[in-house]
Structure 1
Amino acid sequence: MQNSDEIWRLTEAKGPAFYALSDRIWAMPELNYQEHRSAAEHAAMLEREGFRVTQGVADLPTAVMGEAGEGGPVIAILGEYDALPGLSQEAGVATHKPIEPGGNGHGCGHNMLGSASLLAATAVKDYLAAHGLAGRIRYYGCPAEEGGSSKGFMVRAGLFDDVDVAICWHPAAFTGVNRPFSLACVEMEFTFHGRASHAAAAPHLGRSALDAVELMNIGVNYMREHMPSTARVHYALIDGGGIAPNVVQAKATVRHLIRAATLEEMWDLVGRVKKIAEGAALMTETRVEVRQLSGDANLIGNRPLEEALYRNLQRLGGPGFDEADRAFAREIQKTFSREDIIASYGRFGLVPKPDEALSEEIYPLDAGNDTSVGSTDVGTVSWVVPTVQCRVACYAVGTPGHSWQLVAQGQAPAAHKGIALAAKAMAGLAVEVIGDRALLSAAKQAFQAFRDEHPFNNPIGDVEPPLDMAAR
């Protein structure tokens, strides 16, 4: 391992400024493609640290890149900073207490994610400069991971064409190398167009777009019995046609998120959902318009990088939580069910430990449950460049993703300890890849061996970035 102790010291030295960055991003939660203040904070930090900064990359106003170094391998470290709707919550309290009713919150920990990734990139920059080494470190500030697929648009724009290795992480309840499995997905809107009429005086003259939406959703629900067990379909009503029940709704929109284990399975499922929509339109004598918003590929692993990242985590050990951290975590755990906590262990293939509030364990390689996963646009990156991702404990065991409880823990000292560990692990791997040609070669060979057998088409196709998706 190449001078890991030194790169970890450099990471520690810069840590406090990036914990503060995470806290600032937590306090300004912004949704998909609306992360203007968050992106500006990341760009300002990049400029302060001496990176060459480019904003608005891939025609995404809230995407930012920073690069440092010259020549040598190009290492990408991926960051995110988008929040979620409806999860506003005060920090540091173990009761549901929104700051703004209905407001946004960092319920997936992306305030921590982007800050730790930028800290890792900064430490690598300093390490390369101190030793006069050839190599480039590149931070990618990626908006709209929550369904907006910004990394897919960055891939399509060629921003990863010269990258040798991509590294990333995600906040979690446990620490280890991410099992390389996620669901490919597409997010689509189905807008039905009908005919308005007086719902009492002339209902026979109307053709209800809302009826079409309801029939489509019923059809999708009946389809669930007849799709692969790992596939998932979820929906949200975007436009119900108005608030007047005495008007036959002339227009209504539903958004469906369609997921499957592979791109092939996903596109097959998309075709079936479209047929259901066409059937609903036929039954109601309406017309359906389909708009794809985004799409992510399934995650592809890279064993050499996974093993190297795991070695870094083993040497580092857990985050080093203290009794104050555990005391707050125990208060948070009181808001969970026993099933929440058991399921948290199960997702990582771990045996439940009674009375464990925060985990210091590094879980084994290949641990996890392939049937309990979501989707990520990191998957699309993994099809075009060797990619590895870890998870690092930042919050109480049992914390549900996308919850107020996660938001409540987002500024806690435990979160800062998780940021530090994640940044050290990523920075350690980055300098190892730059200094170890054998590791870089093995990673590229493993990647190419997979791609030789698996052609790739970016699932976003020619879709325009859905910059308005959070405003709907």
Structure 2
Amino acid sequence: MKNSNAVWDIVEGKREAFFALSDQIWDMPETNYCEYRSAEAHARQLESEGFRVERAFAGLPTAVMGEAGESGPVIAILGEFDALPGMSQEAGVAEKREVTSNGNGHGCGHNMLGAGSMLAAAAVKDFLAANGLKGRVRYYGCPAEEGGSSKGFMVRSGAFDDVDIAICWHPAAFAGINNPVSLACNELNFHFTGRASHASATPHLGRSALDAVELMNVGVNYMREHMPSTARIHYAVTDTGGHAPNVVQARAAVRYLIRARNLPELHALVARVKKVADGAALMTETSVRSEVISGDANLVGNGPLEELMFANLDRLGPPVFDEADRATARKFQETMSAEDITASYQRFGLKAKKDQPLCEEIFPLYAGDSTIVGSTDVGSVSWVVPTVQMRGATYAIGTPGHSWQLVAQGKLPAAHKGTEHAAKVMASTAIDLIRDPALIEAAKADLKARLDGTPFVNPIPDDVQPPLPESEAQ
């Protein structure tokens, strides 16, 4: 398709600068709402491309937005750049080897995600200018996807109120558009307060907050049998109340991550977990206070957008890797179990193949196991704006998510090639939408029909503020 080829040529002409941006972000991994250097690098790259840039976008200190164009439909291309704690790993090395002890690392490929999305936005900007097309393209640099739910806070701030379409992608082992399924979630802290006492001389005078935490965890574990099979609950004790066993702990805290198939099920499940917490407090004669930290809605799919993006992906074909890429990927596969590799194929609805280290195909539209899913703050965007996202093949088949192997592959030539491939698909999809307003209207009608009058209830309550570092929250 002529238009696709033209914008793909623009992507190819710009790619080296964005490969460098991806590698720069990899080199300085920063976690939730601490991505100051990463956000500034994205802002400067946007400025160098001629975007109008807004730093501290939507009231978030590490969010950035770049816009180009003066009128017409607004297409938002979403990027991320946050890393994960405890994932430090040397680049290109097929063995676990930290750069910094217990340091951060890009274990979900967000260094590629942000750079690829901005590359697509920059190509769309140049295409619109060269062809005299009306339309505005925006790059949304979104921090804190890994548990910080920045897009949910952005939605609440009105950042998407005038957006017509949202486009994004995520690094993966395969390329395609899979089932738009994710779990709605809430992350909450439960703080228990009791009464300190000497654990031996006067234990009867103490009321243990740690006992309450343990009883809550037991109660929730019993509840698992009686909740929907698609739901997930995880917890971590964040405050044991101290390290002295001869003191009855007057305080303790536990953090829960509660996931459900959709928002209504999530709200019901959160209410049940809160009742268990209340019961634990009642049994121990302590008090409990809960607070929401973050929350994501489930993804709402969009048929017209998914079919359009798949058509562009089909025209482009799979990413082109060479034998050097495959040889490197085989070294990483040697560090993985057979179950890792099988699960990777299963997740994308494909039959496992022998000696296939990298993606050589596009997986069928809507293929994949809808039970092997997590949560994403893109879900909150998809409730208010027609949204589409693709998976881009950037690393060896079988690579576990949030693993040292994924971090190690983040700067390889295969990662760059997969990033460019995704940028081409996103850019040509955006151009098709701008050239044909009927496609935008069809996407909006599809979203309206899927919601069927169900109002969006943001899983982040209005009184909850972003979980910024203490220096920023004060």
* TM-score of the aligned structures, taking structure 2 as reference length: 0.97
Aligned pairs for 1:258-337 within 5 A: 258-337=258-337
State the partner residue of 2:138. Answer: 138
Paired AA for residue 132 in structure 1:
G
**Is there any run of 5+ residues in structure 2 with no aligned partner, and where?**
none
* Aligned residues of 2:121 and 2:427 also touching (Cα < 8 A): yes
State the partner residue of 1:226. Answer: 226
Task: Tell me the CA shift for residue 147 of structure 1.
Answer: 1.3
Q: Does 1:155 align with 2:155?
A: yes
State the partner residue of 2:401. Answer: 401
* Aligned residues of 1:2 and 1:435 also touching (Cα < 8 A): no
For 1:380 and 1:464, locate their aligned partners in 2 and report how far apart those are by CA, in whole Å. Answer: 16
For 2:107 and 2:385, locate their aligned partners in 1 and report how far apart those are by CA, in whole Å. Answer: 29
Deviations 1:106-132 (A, max 9, x none): 111001000100110000111111112
Q: CA RMSD in A?
A: 1.5
Deviations 1:369-416 (A, max 9, x none): 111100001001000011000001101111110111100111111100
Instruction: Say which SS state the counterpart of residue 355 (structure 2) adopts.
Output: coil
User: 4+ runs of 1 displaced by more than 4 Å?
Assistant: 469-472
Instruction: Say which SS state the counterpart of residue 215 (structure 2) adopts.
Output: helix
Task: Tell me the CA shift for residue 39 of structure 1.
Answer: 0.6
Paired AA for residue 443 in structure 1:
A
State the partner residue of 1:5. Answer: 5
Instruction: Say which SS state the counterpart of residue 382 (structure 1) adopts.
Output: helix
Pair 1:240–1:33, CA change in 2 (3 A) = same
Instruction: Say which SS state the counterpart of residue 187 (structure 1) adopts.
Output: strand
For 1:388 and 1:37, locate their aligned partners in 2 and report how far apart those are by CA, in whole Å. Answer: 28
Pair 1:470–1:245, CA change in 2 (3 A) = farther
State the partner residue of 2:240. Answer: 240
Instruction: Say which SS state the counterpart of residue 14 (structure 1) adopts.
Output: helix
* Aligned residues of 2:78 and 2:114 also touching (Cα < 8 A): yes
* Aligned residues of 1:360 and 1:393 also touching (Cα < 8 A): no
* Aligned residues of 2:171 and 2:392 also touching (Cα < 8 A): yes
Paired AA for residue 253 in structure 1:
A
Task: Tell me the CA shift for residue 459 of structure 1.
Answer: 1.4
Instruction: Tell me whether 180-189 or 280-289 shows the greater mean CA deviation.
Output: 280-289
**Is there any run of 5+ residues in structure 1 with no aligned partner, and where?**
none
For 1:99 and 1:202, locate their aligned partners in 2 and report how far apart those are by CA, in whole Å. Answer: 49
State the partner residue of 1:467. Answer: 468
Aligned pairs for 1:246-257 within 5 A: 246-257=246-257
* Aligned residues of 1:47 and 1:53 also touching (Cα < 8 A): yes
* Aligned residues of 2:178 and 2:348 also touching (Cα < 8 A): no
* Aligned residues of 1:299 and 1:378 also touching (Cα < 8 A): yes
For 1:304 and 1:469, locate their aligned partners in 2 and report how far apart those are by CA, in whole Å. Answer: 43
* Aligned residues of 1:189 and 1:290 also touching (Cα < 8 A): yes
Q: Does 1:109 align with 2:113?
A: no
Q: Does 1:455 align with 2:455?
A: yes
Paired AA for residue 342 in structure 1:
T
For 1:369 and 1:322, locate their aligned partners in 2 and report how far apart those are by CA, in whole Å. Answer: 29
Paired AA for residue 314 in structure 1:
D
Task: Tell me the CA shift for residue 141 of structure 1.
Answer: 0.5
* TM-score of the aligned structures, taking structure 1 as reference length: 0.98
* Aligned residues of 2:73 and 2:136 also touching (Cα < 8 A): yes
Paired AA for residue 382 in structure 1:
S
Aligned pairs for 1:355-370 within 5 A: 355-370=355-370
State the partner residue of 1:414. Answer: 414
State the partner residue of 1:347. Answer: 347
Instruction: Say which SS state the counterpart of residue 176 (structure 1) adopts.
Output: coil
